[in-house]
Each structure stands twice: as C-alpha cells, then as structure tokens.
Amino acid sequence: MCIAIWTLNHPDYSLILCTNRDEYLARPTANACFHGPDNSILSGTDLQAGGSWFGINRTGRIALLTNISETSGPYPTSRGELVSHFLLPDAPDHSRYTQILSSDDSSAVYAGFNLLLLSPRVQSDIGAVNVEYEATLVTNSGGGGRVRSRKASPGEYSIGAISNGVDGVDGEQWPKVIEGKRKLNDLVTRDETMTEEELVNDLFGILLSQAERRPSNRFELRNSIHIEPVRMSGSLEPNAKGEDWHEKYGTRLSSVLLVRRDGRVLFVERDIWKFEEADGEHRVSRGDPRQDRVRSEHVE
C-alpha cells in the first residue's frame, strides 16, 4: 500500500515529495542509482518484473507509480515500464506520452495503476533560473482498464497525494492519504524557518506515521502510512514462521525528492525494513538511516 505526497507551490522549492514503497520484502530490487542511456535516469529497479516505481532523469522529468489494490490477474506487461519509458532521454513530452498510452492502437495491458508524471519548465532571466512543474495524473482504474489522464487540480498543486485507491472513486478518501496530506500541509505552512536537513528529517517522519491500531487485514492497510512487516496472507500476522519469510510485506523504502526553484535537486532513499539471508537463515531487520543513499544534482 504505497503512498506519495507532494507540493508544487512552495516558494523555495519547485517540488517537495516524499514517498513509501510497500512491497514484499524478499522481492528482488536494485537500489536507486544512475543508469540507462548515458546514465541519465536515477531510480531503483524492480529486478523481478523490470522497470521502476519512482525516478527522475537529468532534465528533471519525474515519474512515480503506485499499484491499485485489487485481486491479482495475468497481465503480461510490467507497470514499471511506465516509469522507465517516461524517463528515457528520447521519450515524448507528457501530453504525447499519455496520448500513446490511451490510444486504441496501444496493445499494452496493465494491472491496475496510478501514475504521476511531472515535467519541468525551466525559465531563465538575466542569469537567474526558475523551475516549475506541470503535473499529470494517469490511471487505468483497475487491471486491464482503459488508460486515461488528467491535469492535476489546483488543490493537488498545493498538496497532492496518491496511494492504492482508484483516482476519482475512493483514492482521495483513504485515511493514509488524508493524514499524509494534512501532515505535509502542517509542515510546509509552519511559521518558522527550517534548514533543508530539518525538512528532509521531518518528511521522513511523516513517512513513519502509523495508525493507532495495527492493521489486521488487507483492507486496514489503507489506514497507515508506514506498514510494519506482516505476513501477507489471510489475516495480517506480524510474526510469520520461518518458512513463511517469502510472504513478509511492509514498507521497504522511503524516499524524499526536493527540487529547488533554481534547479538544484536532492534525492534521498532510505531502507525502512530489510530482508536478509545469511547461512541459510532469513530475517527482517530495520534499515539504518546512516546508510541513506543521497544524491545532489542539478536539472540540466
């Protein structure tokens, strides 16, 4: 039950975004790094299905994907390619990209997804640079559905969020979405000055927010931003037996992405819960913030 929360209206930042990736802890995944043509894409990689869930390229283009909560189906195309293809150096602009996805000529059929596309507009005036983002939301409303897109609303430029609900149906009403938006709004409207380090720490704090009552079934996962590891079958059991390690599910990663108005970029990826295998033993452990993967770049 992933979540992403953002604002595009901050006076100092073109984008403030924080996101959790909730996933099976044993799913093969590569940490975020630069890769692709000319090492132009910064993202993690899903080594099982391919593609990615979140990334930015050197021109500042950004894509973020969440799955729609639904029964699994035999869909042949990886949703992760929706992110990876948008970040390629020769990818069409977001308007053309969404037209291709929603075209009757498109043969791709995906499991349910929500997709946030952010395209930068860079303005230069007498040596000063100002970056602004255009935001588009894309969804198929469920597995095998017709792809449709819309521009983000003014409210979503102020404070926006997506999780695993269906856009325009119930997604905006999930408790974790409401709570995440409230917490981010409280953070960015504080009447005080904070350093960038303090901002990053507070964003990671939002991503660790939990419901007062631990989720006991899949439906209740929508109540909590941070998911402690549970066994993802039937009732959500927090302490799976050793042979059930492959069913352990929870918040694997938290990421923070900041893009300043002058084009400076800060990307931080943090392990929250890790799956480890050693000497035939399988165990789950907490990530260490001292091992954060931090990249400071600039929009080209």
What whole-number distance in Å separates Cα of residue 245 and Cα of residue 270? 22
Per-residue pLDDT for 283 more than 90? no
**126-177 tens-digit pLDDT:** 778 899 999 999 999 999 999 999 999 999 999 999 999 998 788 789 999 9
pLDDT confidence of residue 129: 85
CATH code of residue 209: 3.60.60.10
Top-confidence residue, 181 or 236:
181
**186-233 tens-digit pLDDT:** 999 997 889 999 999 999 999 999 998 888 888 889 999 999 998 876
Question: To the nearest whole percent, how much of the chain has pLDDT over 70?
Answer: 94
State the residue for tokens 């704090």: 205
**76-135 tens-digit pLDDT:** 889 999 999 999 999 999 899 999 998 866 667 899 999 999 999 988 877 788 999 999
Q: What is the dihedral of CA 33, 35, 40, 46, to 10 degrees?
A: -80
Contacts 24+ apart (CB under 8 A), 219-224: 221/1, 221/22, 221/69, 222/1, 222/69, 222/163, 222/164, 222/165, 222/174, 222/175, 222/176, 223/174, 223/175, 223/176, 224/1, 224/176
**Please, is 261 exposed, middle or buried when counting C-beta atoms within 10 Å of its C-beta (0-12, 13-18, 19+)?**
middle
How far is Cα of residue 165 from the mean position of the Cα atoms in its chain?
14
**11-47 tens-digit pLDDT:** 999 999 999 999 999 999 999 999 999 999 999 999 9
What whole-number distance in Å separates Cα of residue 264 and Cα of residue 275? 33
Per-residue pLDDT for 70 more than 80? yes
Per-residue pLDDT for 242 more than 50? no
pLDDT confidence of residue 189: 95
pLDDT confidence of residue 125: 76
Model confidence band, residue 245 (pLDDT cutoffs 50, 70, 90): low
pLDDT confidence of residue 149: 96
pLDDT confidence of residue 282: 81
Instruction: Give me the number of domains the chain comprises.
Output: 1
- Residue 281: give the domain boundaries: 3-298
| Helix, strand, or coil (residue 263) | coil
Q: What's the whole-model pTM score?
A: 0.94
According to DSSP, residue 299 is labeled -
**With contact defined as beta carbons under 8 Å apart, do 14 and 131 qualify?**
yes
Per-residue pLDDT for 300 more than 60? yes
